Structure 1
């Protein structure tokens, strides 16, 4: 393994994670020459939200064909089929962590994991790159630094799944798939705003699509960089988010390289 290769960790729940936010990011990292390690709670081989793999009445808002193709390829990789456990994550083995999102109930195993939050705290303390998309931002939001008593994203600039979009997804699909697009009682953006506090911001990007008088979503990718933290809102942002993640890792390496007199 080349010593210059970056080591990226992708933790996932056993099932229900978003196809695009995991596989398109993975594909970008691998194409950049990064070594990727997957992790699940018990080392079980994971599977994405099956409703995202095909369209139909009970499969609203499916993943795009390119994302599904990337997912099929990812599931054949050696690394995907040999995940480590959350408890076995040693941040000294990794340069960065990517936190995918997803809506369905199985995500709670991952989003609520105290063990994973502790590992994310370790990444933050080591000033290593943390990237998160959509519901994945809830993990650092829930990661509290004992030294401050606040979330590690306190005071930061972080984007996430916009409140109007989460409302729209729930209200337009509940009669087909129930509460799958309402993962928690508290909306994602609301929890992120609470975590960043009065000194932080949660930009949504420019909103152009409107539904029932609400600004719902932007048709252009939007990614936010704040130091060693990179965040994005939903699958549309992932290609730009992933290339930003790659660039940030290279920049960190350059910044940490010793200078010669």
Structure 2
């Protein structure tokens, strides 16, 4: 049987603008889903606005150094080479892929929310009724869909890194906007865990979103489950 194909959309943005702090992709939000898809038999493609290696939020290499997926990635030369050789989004043909996943880190707030290629790729997934997964700040990429499908987000069950969590990590004053507030402004039915930083996954038809790093693997597993159901239903 042919491999399923998953596209990961990663950020290329490294700077917390106006500060000396760095950002990028949150490592565990990439590694946990990456290995979930790989172990489920998927062929993984990585892509970002600029291509090449995405910046990694330095805090994510400290706070998650003990995670099994991060340890596995540190020893996985093939995965590290793939990460360093990510394609540019402009070269991606979305028709090739069965599903798409967008990890977080603060970077997507800057370069995935208002990106023509992200809009083109994700709009295809919406129109083709394919499954979309995103976690933490990754749901910022969903804002780009509004460029092509106005009102896509209105009424949709969505979760993402909350305004409360943003305040608790002391990033509220340096991010371009708070993602929960931005999503609510587009009319989403926003879901969140009862406690900050606890896992939460929201499912709305073909859209699966997660609130924070602890939600990443759960989102990936739900996406894999829904892709399989979709495949069986079309046989």
The normalised TM-score by structure 1 is 0.77
2:182 corresponds to 1:191: yes
Structure 1 residue 201 and structure 2 residue 189: aligned?
A: yes
Deviations, residues 11-31 of structure 1 (Å, cap 9, x unaligned): 112351110111110011001
The 1:101–1:74 alpha-carbon spacing in structure 2 relative to 1, beyond 3 Å, is: farther
Maintained 8 Å contact 1:74/1:80: no
Separation in 2 of the partners of 1:74 and 1:107? 29
How far apart are residue 182 of structure 1 and its match?
A: 5.0
Contact 1:21 1:101 in 2 (8 A): yes
Match of 2:165 in 1: 165
Deviations 1:188-243 (A, max 9, x none): 10011112x1xx41111222xxxxxxxx343xx32111110000000111222221
CA distance in structure 1 between the partners assigned to 2:142 and 2:108 by the alignment: 18
> Aligned partners of 1:183 and 1:71: how far apart in 2?
30
**Matching residue of 1:124:** 126
Aligned pair in 2 of structure 1 residues 26, 236: CA closer, same or farther (>3 Å)? Answer: same
Counterpart of 1:6 in structure 2 is 4
* In structure 2, C-alpha distance between the alignment counterparts of 1:30 and 1:241, rounded to whole Å: 14
TM-superposed CA distance for 1:85, in Å, is 1.3
What CA distance in whole angstroms lies between the structure 2 residues aligned with 1:84 and 1:19?
18
Q: Alpha-carbon deviation of 1:128?
A: 0.8
What are the residue-to-residue correspondences of 1:25-174 with 2, within 5 Å?
A: 25-54=33-62, 62-66=63-67, 67-73=69-75, 76-77=78-79, 78-103=81-106, 108-144=110-146, 146=148, 149-150=150-151, 152-170=152-170
**Cα distance in 1 between the residues matched to 2:173 and 2:215:** 21
Cα displacement (A) at 1:64: 4.3
Shift of 1:36: 0.3
**Please, which runs of 5 or more residues in structure 1 have no aligned partner?**
55-61, 171-178, 208-215
Q: Provide the secondary structure at the position in 1 that maps to 2:112.
A: helix
SS at structure 2 position matched to 1:225: strand
Provide closer, same or farther for how the CA distance between residues 27 and 189 of structure 1 changes in structure 2, counting only shifts above 3 A. same
The alignment's C-alpha RMSD in Å is 2.2
Please report how far the alpha carbon of residue 246 of structure 1 lies from its aligned counterpart in structure 2 after TM superposition.
Answer: 1.2
Among 198, 216, 220, the alignment partner of 1:238 is 216
1:224 aligned residue: 202
CA distance in 1, matches of 2:108, 2:201: 26
Matched residue pairs, number? 223
CA-CA distance at 1:47 after TM superposition? 3.6
Which secondary structure does the structure 2 equivalent of 1:45 belong to? Answer: coil
Q: In structure 1, what is the Cα distance between the partners aligned to 2:224 and 2:174?
A: 29
